[in-house]
Amino acid sequence: YWLGTDHLGRDIFSRLVYGSRIAFGTALPSVAIALTTGIFFGLIAGYVGGKVDNVIVVIMDTLQAFPSIMLSLAILALLGPSLVNVIIVIGITWMPNYARVIRAQTLSIREKAYVEAERSLGATDKGILLSHILPNVIAPALLLAAMDLPWVITFESGLSFMGMGVRPPTPSWGVILSEGFNHIFESQWPILWSGITLALTTLGFTLFGEALRDVLDPRLSGTRGL
């Protein structure tokens, strides 16, 4: 037992390794849902404009009017706590961030001269969106997704800690933390090692996001720490 055992004598190291599957298996599809739906609604709102834009903006503003944790807890209270529901809820909660970024980029790019030239030559809206706008807005969205991964992992752990995410005995990091607090006087190792694992994972993905930012936007490479 490299990292000791919990109050039931279960190996903490093996539970943390299995918990990493839950963490990454939740974060990646959640961010993918938020990214794809955010790109879709952001492109439509920014390119079509008018009433369609107003409706989408109102929906996104409504979702962002509630704190993320409160909105997630409310939806999970209706759907019930499960891994699939957590993925869906996090995807919905994070979606407005991507929609806003994509919409702002689309509003700027659709007025560019080369887009107007394509439109005057008879290019379809679908062709303009897929050939000229989407390739130019995908980089900021991917950067935002990379920066969101550590926060999504922490968010899922928080939901599981409160009993609204993955349920025991499935060893997610949030569940391990919760069980550790409930039996803190019997064994302190679960809290210590799960907390360290969560902190190191968050730090690692944050550094990865910053490195990706430097690659996608070299202009920001010298601003770190300022």
Structure confidence at residue 217 (pLDDT): 65
Q: How many angstroms separate the CA atoms of 47 and 157, rounded? A: 37
Query: Taking residues 156-163, what's their average pLDDT?
Result: 86
- The answer to whether the CB of 45 falls within 8 A of the CB of 99 is yes
In a domain, 21, yes or no: yes
In a domain, 2, yes or no: no
In a domain, 155, yes or no: yes
The per-residue pLDDT for range 177-225, each reduced to its tens digit, is 888 887 777 777 888 888 898 889 889 888 887 887 777 665 544 444 4
In a domain, 1, yes or no: no
Burial class (CB in 10 A: 0-12, 13-18, 19+), 82: middle
Position with higher pLDDT, 88 vs 117: 88
Q: How many angstroms separate the CA atoms of 30 and 89, rounded? A: 8
The per-residue pLDDT for range 30-80, each reduced to its tens digit, is 999 999 999 999 999 988 888 888 999 999 999 888 888 888 888 888 888
- Provide the token pair at 22: 């839950």
In a domain, 85, yes or no: yes
In a domain, 33, yes or no: yes
In a domain, 225, yes or no: no
Structure confidence at residue 224 (pLDDT): 45
- Provide the token pair at 203: 């730090």
The per-residue pLDDT for range 106-149, each reduced to its tens digit, is 888 887 887 778 777 777 778 878 888 888 888 888 888 888 88
* Domains identified in the chain, total number: 1
Residue 135's domain is classified under what CATH number?
1.10.3720.10
The pTM of this model reads 0.82
Structure confidence at residue 223 (pLDDT): 43
Structure confidence at residue 99 (pLDDT): 92
- The answer to whether the CB of 45 falls within 8 A of the CB of 53 is yes
In a domain, 5, yes or no: no
Domain range enclosing 174: 12-216
